[in-house]
Amino acid sequence: MPPTPLQPWMIQLQNPVFGRALLFVLFLPEGWHLQRGFAHPEIHGIQRRQDLPWVTSADAHYLLVHEDGYGLECQIRVRPDAGRGLTSQGEITVRGHPALVRRDSVRRGPPWRRRQVPRLMVDWICPETQRRFHIELVGRLPEPQVQDLLRALGRLRCHHVPGEDWETP
């Protein structure tokens, strides 16, 4: 089966102190949409690189929603890289950086009906912007959709190469 076409989503965060800054550019498979989560993003720091303001420290919550009714909680955490590498060789690469992928489950739902729900976590370090990323996706999803999202994360743009088109994965 051919890979699903990818659509660009430029994720910019804004706050009254720092203004607007770029977190990254995410390329989602066709049919997926990003929606605001339960809280506004919290920006803790930014830096300018190649005349672009980049978020260096933030917490953001989104919902990834598929037109077929799938939905995932998406938590993004970005911190300055402390110079410590990942403890394991990457299972995928994100923008050429080795990324660690972990799967487990968490309990979700009201206290009287809590259930185990699958969780997918992806961690990597971008040496170009000196940032450490953690993306957590929580929700039930068929394995082909999980693989589509992992391929999409591999195309994510956590740094910019001069002369590069932002819209092309």
pLDDT value at residue 76 = 95
* Start-to-end CA span in the chain (Å): 19
**Domain 8-155 CATH (choose: 2.60.120, 1.20.1180, 1.10.287, 1.10.3470):** 2.60.120
Q: Inform me whether the pLDDT recorded for 42 exceeds 70.
A: yes
Q: What radius of gyration do the chain's Cα atoms show?
A: 16
Q: What pLDDT digit, counting tens, does each position of 52-92 carry? A: 888 999 999 999 999 988 899 999 999 998 666 665 555 78
Which of 14-18, 46-50, 150-154 tops mean pLDDT?
A: 150-154
pLDDT value at residue 87 = 57
Residue 24 to residues 41, 54, 77, 94, 115: CA-CA distances in angstroms?
Answer: 14, 8, 12, 11, 32
Entry pTM: 0.88
The closest of 164, 167, 156 to 123, measured between CA atoms, is 156
Q: Inform me whether the pLDDT recorded for 156 exceeds 80.
A: yes
